[in-house]
Amino acid sequence: MKVVILAAGKGTRMRSSLPKVLQPLAGKTLLQHVVDTAKELNAEQILTVVGHQSHLIEEAMIDQGVDFVAQTEQLGTGHAVQQAIPEITDNDTVLVLYGDVPLTAKSTLDDLLNLVSDEHPLGLLTINLDNPSGYGRIIRDQHLAVQAIVEQKDANPEQLKITEVNTGILAAKGAKLKGWLSRLESNNAQGEFYLTDIIAMCVADGFAVQTTQPQAEIEVLGVNDKCQLQSLERDYQMQLANELMVQGATVIDASRLDIRGSVEVGQDVEIDVNVILEGAVKLADGVKVGANCILKNVIIATGTQIHPFSHLEDCVVGQNANIGPYARLRPGTELADSVRIGNFVETKKAKIGIGSKVNHLSYIGDTLMGEGCNIGAGSITCNYDGVNKHQTVIGNKVFVGSDSQLVAPVEIGDGATIGAGSTITKDSPAGELTLSRSKQVTMKGWQKPDKK
Ligand code: UD1
Ligand code: CA
């Protein structure tokens, strides 16, 4: 089975410098959705027909194992599929998909492919629409056998009343498809080579055309402009939120959750409003995500709470940790169980041990921190000398007083205490109080100057 994806169209109505099929839906391009589905179907080859801005599309898909076929002039859907024919052998089954129809379910396409055989060389995916306007209509005879597809612009008033329409998606045997395509003509209202004309040819060859329908309309919706893109995004997001709820998550408002990747949830996960989950996200049992949080590529263990307005990226958080509000966990943050990261704290490449607390207004970067530490408000690991990054190592049960700077590379021993307001530039021994602070003085009898 080989997949041919049509993606040569201009997409004028998007009014965008980005090709239509590279517009994002739920965090990945429209074309990527289609390619991912083709891969799930184990296609032997994925051929993408490109024309307008083909270099951008090829660049975007460079590592995807997709082959590109050029259609320099857009002379119609039939002409587009013709361009891929040199890659098709007689025994192939060809599945035609569209770069701007992103959400067709694998099961629907499996059903369609199962219809196609040497006895039944053509299968169509059709759908009944309340408003069929714009689509090609499925013409059936009195025995309901498919006879042809008539495009909207070529249809007579009687045909325009038909509500069963062509989704465009079809599957055909290679040998027959080649023959039909070679006989296409463009003597129609749009002067194009219509792929849909192969239906009548198949019937004329004496074969019954098979049809199947998708479970849901969303599977065959195409995207032509930003309004349709938005509307498909919202419908799809609702579907993704529903899938999370079926897995046991409590979603406070499904219309205010955005999933741009793959999310796994345990039981009793709670997600408040305006949360964005990106990339690969795993939330174990009982994890609570507060309002307005953004989580990208994170693994969060059981019972951890993430309070509102926190931003986590490429990090791993242990059990029963307590994060935010307003925390920023940057890539390479690894928090052990019961760690507390408070408001306006930023971490980066920081491994923090069990039960340690960084409660307020701190920056912890390039740091290895042990268990049971307490880092006072406003403390900073000075990890960057303007040229290179350096490591700070903090032992177990270290207490760092507020407003301290630990100038890396530097090591603070187990059980050490750093006095508030210190700038620590040398290693500080275990178990001792270290501080660097100018002596406090009081100028006895000092007088304020008089105002002139
Ligand atoms: C097509 C079908 C119509 C169906 C509808 C579903 C034909 C003749 N008509 O009509 O029956 O109801 O889709 O949406 O097939 N493309 C190319 N090269 C071309 C022309 C098109 O790659 O030369 C691509 C476009 O980028 C687009 C897709 O094929 O993604 C469909 O083309 P479009 O012109 O939009 O077809 P419709 O007129 O909508
Ligand atoms: Ca179209």
For the CA of 8, the nearest atom of ligand 1: 22
Q: Looking at the chain, how many residues does it have?
A: 452
Distance CA 227, CA 232 (A): 9
Give me the pLDDT at residue 385, please: 94
Q: Where are the beta strands (DSSP E) in 353-412?
A: 357-360, 363-369, 374-375, 380-382, 392-394, 399-400, 405-407, 410-412
Contact 221, 104 (CB under 8 A): no
Tens digits of residue pLDDT in 16-43: 999 999 999 999 999 999 999 999 999 9
Looking at all shown ligands, the one closest to residue 101's CA atom is: 1
pLDDT band, very low/low/confident/very high, at 50 (cuts 50, 70, 90): very high
Distance CA 202, CA 422 (A): 84
Contact 303, 318 (CB under 8 A): no
Give me the pLDDT at residue 283, please: 98
Distance CA 434, CA 424 (A): 8
Q: Where are the domains of the chain?
A: 2-220, 226-434
Give me the pLDDT at residue 402, please: 98
Q: How far does residue 78's CA lie from ligand 1's centre (Å)?
A: 9
Compute the average pLDDT of residues 277-285.
Answer: 98
Distance CA 154, CA 375 (A): 74
Q: How far does residue 142's CA lie from ligand 1's centre (Å)?
A: 28
Q: How far does residue 205's CA lie from ligand 2's centre (Å)?
A: 28
Contact 34, 220 (CB under 8 A): no
Give me the pLDDT at residue 205, please: 98
Looking at all shown ligands, the one closest to residue 132's CA atom is: 1
Q: Where are the beta strands (DSSP E) in 117-220?
A: 122-128, 137-140, 146-150, 164-173, 210-212
- CB environment 47-60: b (16+ within 10 A), e (fewer): bbbbbbbbeebeeb
Binding pocket residue ranges, ligand 1, CB within 6 Å: 6-9, 49, 71, 74-77, 79-80, 98-100, 135-136, 149, 151, 165-168, 194-196, 222
Q: How far does residue 107's CA lie from ligand 2's centre (Å)?
A: 23
Residue corresponding to tokens 């408040």: 272
* DSSP calls for 192-249: ---GGGHHHHHHHTT-PPEEE--SSGGGG----SHHHHHHHHHHHHHHHHHHHHHTT-
Reading the block at residue 45, the tokens are 């080859």
- Ligand 1: which of 5, 73, 77 to mutate, judged by most atoms within 8 Å of the beta carbon? 77
Give me the pLDDT at residue 10, please: 86
Reading the block at residue 190, the tokens are 């749009």
Contact 332, 349 (CB under 8 A): yes
Compute the average pLDDT of residues 193-210.
Answer: 98
First and final CA of the chain: distance in angstroms? Answer: 92
Is 255 a residue whose pLDDT tops 90?
Answer: yes
The CATH-assigned architecture of domain 2-220 is: Alpha-Beta Complex (3.90)
State phi, psi for 37 to the nearest 5 degrees: -65, -45
Is 84 a residue whose pLDDT tops 90?
Answer: yes
Contact 258, 233 (CB under 8 A): no
Helix (H) or strand (E) segment spanning residue 324 = none
Fold of the domain spanning 226-434: UDP N-Acetylglucosamine Acyltransferase; domain 1 (2.160.10)
pLDDT band, very low/low/confident/very high, at 419 (cuts 50, 70, 90): very high
Tens digits of residue pLDDT in 126-139: 999 999 999 999 99
The residues, ordered by sequence, that sit 6+ positions from 221 with a Cβ below 8 Å of its Cβ are: 101, 103, 228, 232, 235
Please give the positions annotated as active site: 360
Is 69 a residue whose pLDDT tops 90?
Answer: yes
Looking at all shown ligands, the one closest to residue 73's CA atom is: 1
Give me the pLDDT at residue 428, please: 98
State phi, psi for 403 to the nearest 5 degrees: 55, 40
Give me the pLDDT at residue 207, please: 98
